[in-house]
């Protein structure tokens, strides 16, 4: 049933800078926030003014399986990612791409099990900077 086809891991991708990426993207989350505040006025019940503005940051979070040398797609450990500042991230979901500029990592975690080694990361992006 074509109408039930969902996106799978094959349809996901995260590229850093110019085509530097991990080969096996397992999980990816893009999160955007905005700040909403309400203000009342003297002698009124409830708010009379609402302010909405982009939050200071958005985030991209992902998990990738680290591959052996020769199988990796250019990045196979955390060392390269740890050295970057103000870099570009491009995410892919199906045939939809989003590019985020001015990104910086805020968390890198490497989990090792008998089956595989997984690298998890949180990347912060200024506000709604996406193209």
Rg (CA), the chain: 19
Report if residue 95 sits inside a domain. Answer: yes
Report if residue 75 sits inside a domain. Answer: yes
Report if residue 38 sits inside a domain. Answer: no
Kindly state the helix (H) or strand (E) to which residue 92 belongs, with its residue range: strand 87-93
The C-alpha atoms of residue 78 and residue 110 are separated, in whole angstroms, by: 8
**The domain spanning residue 28 has which CATH number?**
2.40.30
Contact at 8 Å (CB) between 61 and 91? no
Report if residue 54 sits inside a domain. Answer: yes
Contact at 8 Å (CB) between 29 and 89? no
Return the pLDDT at 108: 96
User: Count of alpha carbons within 13 Å of 123, Cβ hemisphere only?
Assistant: 29
Report if residue 115 sits inside a domain. Answer: yes
What is the domain range of residue 63? 10-33+48-126
Report if residue 91 sits inside a domain. Answer: yes
Q: Whole-prediction pTM value?
A: 0.75
Contact at 8 Å (CB) between 22 and 89? no
Report if residue 2 sits inside a domain. Answer: no
Report if residue 1 sits inside a domain. Answer: no
Domain count within the chain: 1
Note the pLDDT tens digit of each residue in 59-116: 999 998 888 887 767 788 899 899 999 999 988 888 888 899 999 999 999 999 999 9
In the predicted structure, residue 2 carries a pLDDT above the cut 80: no
């Amino acid at each position: 049933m074509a109408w039930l086809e969902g996106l799978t891991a094959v349809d996901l991708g995260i590229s850093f800078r110019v085509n530097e990426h991990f080969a096996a993207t397992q999980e990816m989350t893009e999160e955007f926030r905005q700040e909403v505040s309400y203000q009342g006025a003297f002698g009124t019940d409830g708010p009379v003014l609402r302010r909405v503005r982009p939050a200071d940051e958005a985030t991209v979070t992902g998990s990738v399986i680290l591959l052996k040398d020769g199988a990796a797609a250019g990045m196979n450990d955390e060392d390269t990612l740890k050295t970057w500042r103000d870099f570009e991230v491009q995410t892919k979901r199906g045939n939809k791409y989003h590019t985020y500029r001015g990104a910086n990592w805020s968390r890198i975690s490497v989990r090792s099990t008998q089956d595989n080694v997984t690298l998890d990361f949180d990347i912060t992006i200024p506000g709604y900077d996406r193209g």
